[in-house]
Amino acid sequence: MSPEVYNRCVEEHADRLYRFVLKNVRDEDKAADIVQDAYEKMWRYREGVQDDKAKSYLFTTAYHVMIDALKREQRMTRPERGLPDEGCSGEQYSDLNEILHAALERLPADQKMVILLRDYEGYSYEEIEQITGLSQSQVKVYIYRARVFLKKYIGQPELVV
């Protein structure tokens, strides 16, 4: 990979990569560090990165750096996870965006990653498979389970709106 291709990759994908990481780690400084680490690794190993695979390499690297950071953080503090029946289905509430973010935070890390890549960022199953290293069938299973959880958590749409 040439420096020109690397710079073009930074210009084209930096915002999207940062947005993806930020939705997962929910901390601007950590997200910026993870994105910077991903670009640093891409630069260090640029000789082995094909120009047409730069985006995939970048998101895969960021994904693995993020997973490592989340696992380190999880070992330090064990987050409390709510059950699906703790959702907002019995309450009158109007901020669907807030409800969705609360539901996403309760998903296991792998399910959260694939649902964000698929539904928020618009990646295909094949691209998610390349980024995460999971099989395509496992990606589909995680997405299905995440959607079922989100549906149970949110409850009846008429109560949310």
pTM: 0.56
Helices (H), the chain: 3-25, 28-44, 54-76, 96-105, 109-115, 125-132, 136-154, 157-160
Summarised one tens digit per residue, pLDDT across range 81-133 is 444 444 444 444 456 677 777 778 888 888 888 888 888 778 888 888 888 88
Identify the DSSP state of 107.
S
Q: Is 155 left (phi over 0), alpha (psi -120 to 50) or beta?
A: left
Q: Considering the domain 83-161, what is its CATH architecture? A: Orthogonal Bundle (1.10)
Mean pLDDT, the chain, rounded, equals 78
The answer as to CATH 1.10.1740 being correct for domain 1-79 is: yes
- Output the CA–CA distances (angstroms, integers) from residue 86 to 15, 18, 40, 89, 103, in the order listed: 34, 31, 41, 8, 10
- Is the predicted pLDDT of residue 135 greater than 50, yes or no? yes
Q: Where are the domains of the chain?
A: 1-79, 83-161
